[in-house]
C-alpha cells in the first residue's frame, strides 16, 4: 500500500475543517456551490469508507469544468472577494473529490487557511476572528495527524499540541501586528462587493418609513466627543436632505449643486469622531452643521450633508468638527430657492388653502412659522407609531382628519405648509439624541433614534432648524423615543426589557463598550495608532523607519525567547548544581578545542586535555579530579561544591595560537601519541 495514501479518518478530519471554514461564508457563497462541496466531500468519504480510490480523472475534469462554468455564468466575474471565495470554495470541493495523496490534503489545508482569511477581509467581529482561529487550530491539528507516518497520536493530543504551537505563536503574531507598517490606502483597486444590505435611512421619505426604523435596535453609528458634548436639544445628526415633494413622498434632489452656501459659526465648535456602521449609502451622519472632516474624498453637498464618493460598505471612522449655532447672511440663490419652494399644486388642496389663510394673517416669515407650530400644539395632534393609513392627499388627511402621526408626518406636513406660503423649506432626515454609554464615554445612536425635521430659510439668518414633532411631544426631544409614548406598545422588545431591568441595560452598555474598544483599538489600528504606540514607548520623533527598527528589535527579542524556550525543552539543563558546573567546565574546554567525548570519564578527559594543551593540563586535571571526588566520594572530597563552582567560574582557558580541531581528537589518537 502506498504509505502516502490517505486514510478515511484523515479525510474525515480535513473535510470537517473545510466545512467549518466555509460556514463563515454561508451568506456570501451561492448555495449550490456549498451543495457541490458537500456532495463531492460526501462522495469521496463514501468511496474512502469502502476503501475505493478517487473517481477517474476524466469524470473529475468534466465535473470541474461544468461547475466553474456555472459559477462564471452566475457571477459574471471571478474578480472580487465574494466571487474569489466562491471559486476557491468550489475548487476546494472539487479537490475533495480527487484527494488521494498527502499532497492533495496539503493543498486543501492551504485552501482552508485562505478561505478563513477571506472571511476576515469581509467581516469585522471579534467572534468571527475567534471562530476562524479555532478553525485554523483544528486544521493544523488535522495536519499533524496527516504528516506522521507512524500510527497517528489521538485527536486530543494532536489538538493540544497544535494549541501549544498556537499559544507560542501568539506573542510573535502580536509583535508583527503592532509594529508591521500599515499603509494608508489600498495597494490596488478593490473590486466592490455588495455584501452588506442597505440599512437605516433611505433617499426617499414617505409616511411609514421611519416608524419601521423606530422598532429596530440596530446601531447606526457611535460618537465620541473629544471635549464638550452639545446639549440634548442640539444633538441632531444630519443625514440625507429631501427637497422634491410629489404630494406623498419626499426625495433627495438630483439637480443639487455641490457648493454649499457658506455658514458663519456662532457658537463653540464640537470635535468628535463618528464611527459609522456600514449602511450601503453614501452619506455620513454628522452633528448639525459640519465644517471640517478628515475623510478623503468626502464632500459636503449644498444641503450640508457629508457624502462619500462610494457607499459606506465597511465600518469607517471620521473625525469631524461641527458648529451647532450657525447663520448665513448671504442671500439664497434662485436655484436653491426654487428647489425648496416647489410643491404639487394639484394635491393636498386643503393644506394649501390653510397655508394661504395663515399666511395672510402672518406676513412675517418667522411669525408664520410660529403660527403653524402653535397650531400643532393647540389642536389635538397625537404622536403615535401606528398612525392610520393616509389616502391620496396624505398631508390633508393628516392635518384635518387623522391628526395622528410620527415625526415624518409632522415634518412632511410642516414643510408643505411652508412651501405653500412661499418660504423655502426642506425635510432633513437623520437621527436625534442617542444613548450615552457611561462605561466608556461615548454615544450610541441606534436606528430607533431615526428622526425627520425641517429647515426653513429666514432671510438674514439662513437655514433654521424647526422640529415640528417637538411641538407635539416635547419630551421626545428631551428624552428620546422610549418615553414619548406611554403606551409603549410599539417599542422595540429589547428596549422594553432594558427599561424594566436596569442591570440588563448595564450589561448591554458594557458589551457595547467592549465592542467599541475592539473597534477603536483593533479594527481601526492604523499608522496614527502606531505612531502613538511609539510615542508611548518613548521613542522620539516616530516615523516609518523607526517603526521598522522597533519591529526588528521586538521580533529579535520574541524569537530569542522562543529559541530559549524550545532549547530548554529539548535539552534541559541538569538539575544538580555539581553536574551543571562540570558541564560548564567541559564547555569551556570545548571552546578552546578539546571537546569531551560522550563516553569519556572526567579523569580520561583531563589526561587528554593535558596532552593536547599542556598549558591547561594541571588545572584541568585538578578540576576534573575535584569533580570526580565530589561526585563519587562525597564528604571526603576535600573541596566543597561552592568552591568547585567558584573554581570553574574562575577558570578561563586561553585559546591556543592555532587551536587543533577538536572534532578530530578521538581517544585513540590522543592515547596513542
Partner 1 sequence: MRQAIRNKIRAWSARRHGRDVLPIKIHRRRVYILPTRFGVMLAMMLVAMLLGALNYNSNLGLAFAFLLMSVALVTMHHCNRNLLGLHVDVPAEVDAFAGREATFEFVLRNDSSVERRDVEICCTTAAGLGSVSARAVEVIPVVIPAPRRGVVRVAQFELRTRYPFGWFHSWTYVQGSLTAYVAPAPRGSRTLPAASGVGAEYRSESRGEEDFAGLRAYEAGVPLKHMAWKVLARGGEPAVRSYTSSAAQPEWLEWSSLEDQDTETRLSQLCLWVLESHAAQRVFGLRIPGTEISPARGAAHRVACLRALARYGTAEPS
Q: Which three cell numbers stand for residue 127?
A: 467572534
Whole-angstrom distance, CA of residue 30 vs CA of residue 39: 15
No. of helices (H) and no. of strands (E), the chain: 24, 21
Catalytic residue among 211, 288, 396, 467: 467
Residue numbers of the site for partner 1 (CB under 8 A)? 81, 102-103, 106-107, 110, 113-114, 116-118, 120-121, 123-124, 128-129, 132-133, 136, 140, 143-144, 146-150, 153, 161, 165-166, 168-170, 172-173, 176-177, 180, 182-183, 185-188, 190, 522-525, 559, 562-563, 566-567, 569-572, 597-599, 661-664, 666-667
Residue 121 beta carbon to partner 1: minimum distance, rounded to whole angstroms: 5
Report yes or no: 425 and 458 within 8 Å, Cβ to Cβ: no
Residue 265 beta carbon to partner 1: minimum distance, rounded to whole angstroms: 34
In the chain, what's the furthest Cα-to-Cα distance?
130
| Cα-based distances in Å from 125 to 4, 167, 182 | 39, 21, 20
| Cα-based distances in Å from 597 to 357, 582, 603 | 114, 14, 12
**659 φ, ψ to 5°?**
-65, 135
Positions of E strands within 459-551: 462-466
SS3 at position 80? coil
Residue 174 beta carbon to partner 1: minimum distance, rounded to whole angstroms: 8
| Cα-based distances in Å from 504 to 446, 485, 508, 561, 627 | 17, 22, 6, 44, 70
Residue 607 beta carbon to partner 1: minimum distance, rounded to whole angstroms: 16
Q: Before 571, cis peptide (omega within 30)?
A: no
Residue 586 beta carbon to partner 1: minimum distance, rounded to whole angstroms: 11
Spatial strand order in the sheet of 244-245: 204-205, 250-251, 244-245
Whole-angstrom distance, CA of residue 475 vs CA of residue 411: 17
Whole-angstrom distance, CA of residue 231 vs CA of residue 246: 35
- Judged by beta carbon, residue 170 or residue 646, the one nearer partner 1 is 170
136: annotated active-site residue = no
158: annotated active-site residue = no
- Judged by beta carbon, residue 278 or residue 434, the one nearer partner 1 is 278
Residue 184 beta carbon to partner 1: minimum distance, rounded to whole angstroms: 8
- Judged by beta carbon, residue 9 or residue 163, the one nearer partner 1 is 163
Residue 604 beta carbon to partner 1: minimum distance, rounded to whole angstroms: 13
Q: What angle, 0 to 180 degrees and rounded to 10, lies between the N-to-C axes of helices 81-98 and 8-23? A: 170
- Judged by beta carbon, residue 165 or residue 228, the one nearer partner 1 is 165
Cα pseudo-dihedral 208, 211, 217, 220, rounded to 10 = 70
| Cα-based distances in Å from 301 to 219, 260, 317, 455 | 25, 6, 19, 15
- Judged by beta carbon, residue 193 or residue 217, the one nearer partner 1 is 193
Nearest CA to 277 out of 428, 430, 124, 129 is that of 124
For residue 350, what are the contacts with CB-CB under 8 A and spacing of at least 6? Answer: 393, 396, 399, 400
- Judged by beta carbon, residue 155 or residue 400, the one nearer partner 1 is 155
Give the count of beta carbons closer than 10 Å to the beta carbon of residue 343.
23
Report yes or no: 338 and 419 within 8 Å, Cβ to Cβ: no
- Judged by beta carbon, residue 185 or residue 486, the one nearer partner 1 is 185
CA triple 119-124-125, angle to 5 deg: 105
- Judged by beta carbon, residue 106 or residue 155, the one nearer partner 1 is 106
Report yes or no: 469 and 382 within 8 Å, Cβ to Cβ: no
- Judged by beta carbon, residue 146 or residue 241, the one nearer partner 1 is 146
Catalytic residue among 407, 449, 454, 485: 407
Alpha helices in 362-488 (DSSP H): 365-378, 394-396, 407-420, 468-472, 474-479
Residue 193 beta carbon to partner 1: minimum distance, rounded to whole angstroms: 10
Residue 186 beta carbon to partner 1: minimum distance, rounded to whole angstroms: 5
382-383 vs 404-405, strand pairing mode:
parallel
- Judged by beta carbon, residue 39 or residue 316, the one nearer partner 1 is 316
Residues linked to residue 306 through DSSP beta bridges, in sequence order: 284, 300
DSSP 233-283: GG-EEEEEEE-EE-SS-EE--SS--SPPPP-EE-S-EEEEEEEEPP-SSSE
Nearest CA to 320 out of 386, 392, 388, 271 is that of 271
Residue 157 beta carbon to partner 1: minimum distance, rounded to whole angstroms: 9
154: annotated active-site residue = no
Residue 217 beta carbon to partner 1: minimum distance, rounded to whole angstroms: 25
- Judged by beta carbon, residue 502 or residue 572, the one nearer partner 1 is 572
For residue 366, what are the contacts with CB-CB under 8 A and spacing of at least 6? Answer: 458
Residue 53 beta carbon to partner 1: minimum distance, rounded to whole angstroms: 22
- Judged by beta carbon, residue 461 or residue 584, the one nearer partner 1 is 584
Report yes or no: 437 and 443 within 8 Å, Cβ to Cβ: yes
Catalytic residue among 409, 451, 498, 512: 451
SS3 at position 144? helix
Q: Which three cell numbers stand for residue 369?
A: 412659522
Q: Which three cell numbers stand for residue 485?
A: 409614548
Residues with a catalytic annotation lie at 407, 451, 467
Amino acid at each position: 500500500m502506498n504509505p502516502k495514501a490517505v486514510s478515511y479518518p484523515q479525510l474525515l478530519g480535513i473535510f470537517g475543517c473545510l466545512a467549518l471554514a466555509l460556514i463563515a461564508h454561508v451568506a456570501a457563497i451561492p448555495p449550490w456551490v456549498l451543495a457541490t462541496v458537500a456532495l463531492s466531500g460526501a462522495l469521496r468519504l463514501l468511496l474512502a469508507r469502502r476503501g475505493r480510490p478517487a473517481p477517474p480523472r476524466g469524470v473529475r475534469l468534466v465535473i470541474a469544468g461544468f461547475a466553474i462554468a456555472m459559477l462564471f455564468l452566475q457571477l459574471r466575474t471571478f474578480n472580487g472577494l465574494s466571487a474569489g471565495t466562491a471559486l476557491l470554495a468550489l475548487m476546494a470541493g472539487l479537490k475533495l473529490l480527487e484527494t488521494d495523496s498527502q499532497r492533495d490534503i496539503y493543498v486543501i489545508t492551504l485552501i482552508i487557511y485562505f478561505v478563513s482569511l477571506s472571511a476576515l477581509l469581509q467581516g469585522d467581529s471579534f467572534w468571527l476572528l475567534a471562530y476562524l482561529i479555532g478553525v485554523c487550530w483544528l486544521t493544523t491539528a488535522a495536519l499533524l495527524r496527516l504528516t506522521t507516518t507512524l500510527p497517528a497520536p489521538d485527536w486530543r493530543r494532536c489538538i493540544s499540541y497544535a494549541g501549544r504551537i498556537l499559544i507560542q505563536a501568539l506573542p510573535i503574531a502580536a509583535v508583527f501586528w503592532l509594529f508591521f507598517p500599515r499603509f494608508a490606502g489600498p495597494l490596488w483597486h478593490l473590486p466592490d462587493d455588495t455584501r452588506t444590505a442597505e440599512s437605516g435611512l433611505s433617499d426617499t421619505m414617505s409616511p411609514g418609513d421611519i416608524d419601521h426604523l423606530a422598532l429596530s435596535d440596530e446601531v447606526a453609528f457611535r460618537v465620541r466627543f473629544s471635549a464638550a458634548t452639545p446639549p440634548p436639544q442640539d444633538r441632531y445628526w444630519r443625514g440625507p436632505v429631501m427637497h422634491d415633494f410629489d404630494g406623498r413622498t419626499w426625495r433627495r434632489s438630483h439637480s443639487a449643486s455641490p457648493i454649499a452656501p457658506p455658514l458663519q459659526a456662532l457658537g463653540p465648535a464640537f470635535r468628535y469622531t463618528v464611527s459609522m456602521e456600514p449602511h450601503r449609502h453614501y452619506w455620513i451622519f454628522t452633528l448639525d452643521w459640519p465644517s471640517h472632516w478628515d475623510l478623503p474624498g468626502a464632500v459636503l453637498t449644498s444641503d450640508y450633508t457629508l457624502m462619500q464618493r462610494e457607499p459606506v460598505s465597511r465600518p469607517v471612522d471620521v473625525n469631524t468638527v461641527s458648529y451647532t449655532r450657525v447663520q448665513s447672511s448671504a442671500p439664497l440663490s434662485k436655484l436653491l430657492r426654487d428647489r425648496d419652494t416647489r410643491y404639487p399644486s394639484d394635491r393636498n388642496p386643503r393644506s394649501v388653502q390653510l397655508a394661504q389663510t395663515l399666511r395672510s394673517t402672518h406676513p412675517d416669515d418667522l411669525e408664520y412659522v410660529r403660527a403653524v407650530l402653535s397650531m400643532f400644539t393647540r389642536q389635538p395632534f397625537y404622536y403615535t407609531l401606528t398612525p392610520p393609513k393616509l389616502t391620496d392627499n396624505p398631508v390633508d388627511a393628516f392635518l384635518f382628519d387623522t391628526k395622528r402621526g410620527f415625526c415624518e408626518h409632522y415634518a412632511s406636513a410642516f414643510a408643505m405648509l411652508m412651501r405653500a406660503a412661499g418660504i423655502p423649506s426642506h425635510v432633513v432626515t437623520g437621527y436625534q439624541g442617542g444613548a450615552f454609554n457611561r462605561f466608556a464615554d461615548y454615544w450610541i445612536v441606534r436606528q430607533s433614534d431615526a428622526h425627520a425635521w425641517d429647515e426653513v430659510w429666514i432671510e438674514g439668518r439662513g437655514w433654521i432648524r424647526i422640529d415640528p414633532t417637538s411641538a407635539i411631544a416635547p419630551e421626545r426631544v428631551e428624552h428620546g423615543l422610549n418615553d414619548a409614548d406611554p403606551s409603549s406598545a410599539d417599542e422595540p422588545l429589547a428596549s422594553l426589557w432594558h427599561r424594566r431591568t436596569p442591570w440588563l441595560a448595564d450589561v448591554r452598555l458594557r458589551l457595547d463598550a467592549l465592542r467599541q474598544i475592539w473597534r477603536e483599538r483593533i479594527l481601526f489600528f492604523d499608522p496614527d495608532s502606531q505612531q502613538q504606540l511609539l510615542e508611548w514607548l518613548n521613542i522620539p520623533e516616530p516615523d516609518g523607519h523607526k517603526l521598522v527598527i522597533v519591529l526588528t528589535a521586538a521580533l529579535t527579542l520574541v524569537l530569542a525567547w522562543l529559541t530559549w524556550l524550545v532549547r530548554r525543552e529539548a535539552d534541559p539543563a541538569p538539575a544538580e548544581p555539581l553536574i551543571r558546573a562540570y558541564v560548564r567546565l567541559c564547555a569551556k574546554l570545548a571552546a578552546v578545542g578539546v571537546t569531551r567525548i560522550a563516553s569519556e570519564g572526567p579523569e580520561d578527559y583531563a589526561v587528554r586535555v593535558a596532552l593536547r594543551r599542556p598549558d591547561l593540563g594541571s588545572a584541568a586535571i585538578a578540576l576534573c579530579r575535584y569533580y570526580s571526588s565530589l561526585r563519587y566520594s562525597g564528604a571526603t572530597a576535600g573541596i566543597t561544591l561552592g568552591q568547585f563552582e567558584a573554581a570553574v567560574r574562575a577558570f578561563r582557558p586561553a585559546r591556543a595560537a592555532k587551536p587543533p580541531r577538536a572534532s578530530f581528537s578521538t581517544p585513540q589518537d590522543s592515547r596513542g601519541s
